[in-house]
Amino acid sequence: MRKPRALIVRAPGTNCDLETAYALDVAGAATSLVHINRISSGEMSLAGFSIFVIPGGFSYGDDLGAGKLMARELERRLRDQVAEFVRRGGLVLGICNGFQVLVRAGLLPVPFGERQRVSLIPNASGRFECRWVHLRCAPGNPCVFTRDIAALDLGVAHGEGRLYVPGPVADDIVPVLYYATRDGSEPGYPANPNGSFRNIAGICDASGRILGLMPHPERFVRASQHPQWTARGDRGGTGDGLSLFTNAVDYARSLF
C-alpha cells in the first residue's frame, strides 16, 4: 500500500521538525522535511502531499510576535497553494508555533477568512510554561486527528499560548481539546497552563481537517517519553501523542 505523503515545513528557529517527522514516519507516512523557501520559490509545492504540518519552535525567532513572520509567508506567498491543498481535502496540522502561524495566517478558525479572527497571546502567568497537562477531547467534535480519542496527556512548552477569542467570534470556534483535570474539577492554573479561553487547548475548522493545538503530540510517541513512564506500566507501549498522527495517516490513505 502506498504511504501517504506528509510535508513538514520549517524555517530558522523551528526546533520540533525532526520529532514531528519521526512521529509521522512511525504512523506510516512518507515524510519530507522542507525549508519554507523551497516552496515559496517554486522549487517544491504541496501537490502530491496529503498532510501539511507546521511544527513547533520559534520560527524566525518570533521576533515580531510568535509565528507572525511565517504567517505572512503563508498569506502572501503560499496562499493559493495552501487554499488548493485544503480544497482537495488535505490535512493541515499546526503544533504550538504552528498553531500560532495558522491563526495569524487566517487558516483558523475559518480557512482564509477576511482577517485574523483569534489570537494566541502571552500566558496569563507571565512566564514560559513547560509542563505536562491532561487533556480531554470535546464531545462530538469533527476533527480527523482526534477520532476515537477521549483523553490524553501531552507536554506544553510556550510563552504565548493563551487563546484569545473576541466575543463576536466565539460561535465560530470549534473546540477539539480542553485543558482538564482527572477528577473533572475546573482546571485552574497550572492544569490550564496559560489561561486560555474556555480552557481550550486546540481548535479545528468546520471540516475537521485543519487542527491547531498548543500541546506537543510529537513529544509523546513512545511510552518511555512520559516522566512517570515506569509508574504508568507502559514500558513497551506507545505514547498518547502518536494516535493523532496515526489518525491523520489513516485518513490520508483514502485521499490520493
Active-site amino acid positions: 96, 216, 218
Sheet hosting strand 129-137, strand order edge to edge: 30-35, 5-10, 51-54, 91-95, 210-213, 200-204, 174-180, 129-137, 151-158
Helices and strands of the chain, counted as H and E runs: 7, 11
Rounded to the nearest angstrom, the gap between the alpha carbon of residue 19 and the centroid of all alpha carbons in its chain is: 13
Q: What DSSP assignment string belongs to 177-222?
A: EEEE-TT-----TTTSSS--GGGEEEEE-TTS-EEEESSBGGG-SB
Burial class for 148, CB neighbours closer than 10 Å (0-12, 13-18, 19+): exposed
- The residue whose grid cell reads 480519542 is 149
Rounded Cα distance between 119 and 101, Å, is 10
Residue in 9, 6, 3, 2 with CA at minimum distance from that of residue 145: 6
Burial class for 172, CB neighbours closer than 10 Å (0-12, 13-18, 19+): middle
